[in-house]
Structure 1
Amino acid sequence: MSSYLDSALGFTLPGRHARGRVARLGTVLDEVLGAHGYPAAIERVLAEALVLAALFGSTLKDATGQLTLQAQTQGGVIDLLVCDYRGGVMRGYIRHDPERLGELPADPSLFALFGKGYLAITFDQTMTKERYQGIVPLEGGSLAQAAESYFAQSEQIPSLVRIGVARLPDGRHVAGGLLLQHLPEGEEGRDRIHTRLDHPEWEHVAALGGTVQGEELTDPALPLETLLWRLFNEDEVRVLPPVALAQGCRCDPDHIRSVIERFPADERAEMADEAGLIHVDCEFCASRYSIEAALG
């Protein structure tokens, strides 16, 4: 696999008071999607969500902090979408109705998939024990547009989000994304109430960032630094150290066993199958754990 996959790169445009992240996923996608065998439309949505999680999660200054992206819906084919990021390790899954999905066109709209729903983005800072959550309606034509609404409404920061998803001829999945934000007083910004959506500097940066093509975001042979130079060669670009991304689940058989042990013996017996085993499935990685009901 290319070294230009499964990484996120932070950058700043000091002369334009802007900052951003660019990320590209390869093996991470194959491992997450391969555990579930989703239909193509569901694979695409989860790929987009994982890219958002990579872009947002890699902004965490606390290496032990966690970013969780969750979409809950009413009346949609997708009932629940969850992705999270911690220290570069990512996971995600989607719960959906296969029969209803089969009634939709091959490229269903965001509303057809989610119906009436909302996108919740939660930042948990472990070191400071701070937790912040922003919630926005799932509106627009894509998750990228919903993410832009999140930053405009919850953060009051003008932002541009672009995502590309592709499947290579050999069957591998690739997805990439660009997050671009305007901070008038530099990286730290001033009070957000003073951030103008129509600031000339932001209009310039957003216009350049908006030219990025999906093929560039998903090209496994294109270095992320080269992509940034293509977009912003008129300005100074300062690149931060890259963040390596990987798939990983935190399901723990010992923890699952300890939870089951808390149930009374008669309830454990009811949960068990004919062989006396209680089966617990992890929705993230599709692993199954079989625990003996007669514990102790």
Structure 2
Amino acid sequence: MTTASLDTAIGFTIPHRHARGRVVRLGPALDTILSKHAYPPVVATLLAEALTLSALLGSTLKHDGSRLTLQAQAEGGAVDLLVVDYVDGVLRGYVRHDADRIAQMPVDPSLFALFGKGYLAITFDLPAIGERYQGIVPLEGASLAEAAESYFAQSEQLPSIIRLSAGRGADGRHVAGGMLIQHLPEGEEGRDRIHTRLDHPEWDHVRALAETVKPDELTDADLPLENLLWRLFNEEEVRTLPALALSQSCRCDLEHFRSVLARFPADERAEMADENGEIHVDCEFCSTRYSISLESLAA
């Protein structure tokens, strides 16, 4: 694989068509996250797509320390919880699922088969300006990408195209890619949203070009992201932004867990401990287990 094409997000605009977007491709960071859990292939693909979607959305944040959290929660399906977050180019995520039910599913199950009835929540935390935004939409559509498109149509009122793809490269490692393109009415904030004028020819043209992207183009690490944009939009003037490096890391911290446990009364801490006087805290994201002794908490 071409490492320069992996773990990267590139923003772009098509100014004469009043469109903006992001392309993302994940490689080693994705491999590391998935290696923390023995996910079945179906679940690994779902989490890979969710991580890619979070990178597409999170890379649009302008202020350092801003956080994007994507959470899908449901009842009645084989997956009851999916959580991914993004902060300053750093990703983490996990999926809680019923392994027995997943094993009975086809290779490419529908979103409803995976989740049953549920919702998708996308939250933007912007501490630099003291603001927080959250949109919640039903988990509807054939895929996670379609559910996210519904989020933008309902919560943001922005016509959007989202494409996600995940698989394995020639070397057997995980790779995922995605593209997000949105229309900005007249290219300025404060104008009427485009959903009030659905016959807008500029957006129809961009949509037609964007929808020609193939899943294997999104995951082809030998195809630089800039070249992918040229393939799709060579008829247009496309301006790209500097590439953003993506990585993975978990923010779990021993001292944080210790400080939380220290707030509990001694008798409650004793109930949490095992026969050796150790309280064990497991991080769902990275599968790291922290052992904290009652003696150290008392001190």
Q: Which TM class, normalised by the smaller chain length? A: over 0.9
Q: After TM superposition, give the deviation of residue 189 of structure 1 in Å.
A: 6.2
1:157 has 2:158 as partner: yes
* Structure with the larger helix share: 2
Counterpart AA for 1:246: S
- Secondary structure class of the residue paired with 2:185: coil
- Indicate yes or no: 2:25 matched with 1:30: no
Which residue matches 1:85? 86
| C-alpha deviation, 1:73, in angstroms | 0.2
Q: CA deviation at 1:89?
A: 0.4
The residue number in structure 2 matching 1:136 is 137
Contact kept, 8 Å, 1:29 with 1:173, in 2: the verdict is yes
2:40 aligned partner: 39
Per the alignment, residue 276 of structure 2 pairs with 275
> Does the 8 Å CA contact 1:183/1:195 hold for their aligned counterparts?
no
Unaligned 5+ residue runs, structure 1? none
CA contact (8 A) 1:31 1:247 kept: yes
Contact 2:66 2:126 in 1 (8 A): yes
Unaligned runs of 5+ in 2: none
Q: Distance in 1 between matches of 2:199 and 2:30?
A: 36
TM-score (norm 1): 0.97
Q: Give the superposition deviation at 1:105.
A: 2.1
| Contact 1:90–1:248 (Cα < 8 Å) also in 2 | yes
**Number of aligned residue pairs:** 296
* Cα drift, residue 81 of structure 1: 0.3
Q: CA RMSD in A?
A: 1.3
Q: Deviations over 1:232-275 (max 9, x none)?
A: 00010000111110001111100000111111111111111111
SS at match of 1:90: strand
| Mapped partners of 1:132, 1:212: distance in 2 | 31
Task: Report the equivalent of 1:200.
Answer: 201
For residue 62 of structure 1, report the CA deviation from its aligned partner. Answer: 1.1
For residues 187 and 250 of structure 1, do their structure 2 counterparts lie closer, same or farther at Cα, with a shift above 3 Å needed? farther
Give yes or no for contact 1:11–1:21 (8 Å, CA) kept in 2.
yes
Distance 1:197 1:161 in 2: 18
Question: Percent of aligned pairs with the same residue?
Answer: 69
Greater CA drift, 186-195 or 263-272:
186-195
Report the TM-score when normalising by structure 2.
0.96
Shift of 1:194: 6.2
Cα separation, partners in 2 of 1:258 and 1:140, compared to 1, 3 Å: same
Corresponding position: 1:171 with 2:172: yes
Q: Distance in 1 between matches of 2:214 and 2:194?
A: 32
CA contact (8 A) 1:32 1:247 kept: yes
Indicate conservation of the 8 Å contact 2:168/2:175, yes or no: yes
Could you tell me which residue of structure 2 aligns to residue 125 of structure 1?
126
